[in-house]
Amino acid sequence: MLGSTIRTQVAIVGAGPAGLLLGQLLHKHGIDNVILERQSGEYVLGRVRAGVIEQGTMDLLDEAGVGARMHEDGLVHEGVQICVDGIRHRLSFKELTGKTVMVYGQTEITKDLMDGRAAAGAPTVYSADDVALHDLFGDQPRVTYRAGGKAHEVACDFIAGCDGFHGVSRKSVPQSAIATHERVYPLGWLGILADTPPVSEELIYVRHAHGFALCSMRSPTRSRYYIQCSLAEDIDAWPDDRFWEELKPRLDDEARRRLVTGPSIEKSIAPLRSFVAEPMRFGRLFLAGDASHIVPPTGAKGLNLAASDVRYLAQALAEHYVEKSAAGLDHYSQRALARVWKAERFSWWMTTLLHNISDNHFDRKLQLAELDYLFRSKAAATAFAENYVGLPY
């Protein structure tokens, strides 16, 4: 049964942070847009993801008009700590770069963006099934989907593919038109979320003979911990007590004393992968966020890279509609990928530096030498801090 045909300027596929942020920024520029999302709104809001955001991402959320709660509840971090075999070393972002980062969960960002979109009265279609992209290289692209038992169509000028690694957008591109680059790491992160106070006011990255660990947080009363694990692990084989007992030996004495254990409210295993698909433009389709690239979470770049893509794309679309210039759209892929590859490099570097990836003693000695250089050299520490807080756009 035929349903509605909607006409808009930009059709956005995916209602995660990237799609919602793009929609909000376009609305601020007076550009009509419709967001289509395969999952329900409750499912999208329930996903537990990143928690560290760069200043550039904070600025974009402010520009989108949804930053008030972030500034009220977010935790500003002026540095980070790296623990090597039981000894902690602090690297101050504030002293080295004059910048900071903020801990504010992706779930909270998604909620703020959803509330902002609802307040703007901009349309979002959740539970949109069988989404398909058409005529990407023509002048009149379309997106079709099914909802409420009926077929619907969105006619538009441009399509923004913000639907993640497994979404339909990248899959709609002819294989001959796209190049993919990938590195899959032989390990994963077993993560746990608990309503317990964090062991530190700053993140602690742990390099240990038992494997990597990360002590993070979502608030002063909610902690997020990760430990390195095999990809063959079964999440059901990890009751809470086993996780805590595996984490404790990796911590330094102070963190171990401050560790408060408790029941988990979320637990998952995430594989580590580096992935880039290029270019990021195909006719009238523009990819953004995980639809085009994936980074291992070690460098806290995933959400921030998606935000930088959105920044470039929103600016380019505003130039097209407001200034009647195609320059931003023509250079979108090149500009976005230049920043993507730098973030891929940093995330790869941090991952190989802090994890037990190889049993080769030479490789492990190199890790220790690199860490010693990082802690002793202001130039090395500054380069680390510049990348962690976010490179300039």
Which residues belong to the active site?
Answer: 77, 205, 297, 301, 388
Residues contacting residue 372 through CB under 8 Å, at least 6 positions apart: none
Distance CA 357, CA 184 (A): 11
Q: How far is CA 95 from CA 73, 343, 344, in A?
A: 24, 22, 25
SS3 66: coil
Contact predicate 313/158, CB 8 Å: no
E strands, 52-157, are: 52-53, 75-77, 79-84, 87-92, 101-103, 124-125, 129-134, 142-147, 150-155
Cβ-contact 224, 51 below 8 angstroms:
yes
CA distances from 315 to 24, 138, 181, 309, 322 (A): 12, 22, 27, 10, 10
Residue 279 preceded by cis peptide, ω within 30: yes
Whole-angstrom distance, CA of residue 70 vs CA of residue 55: 12
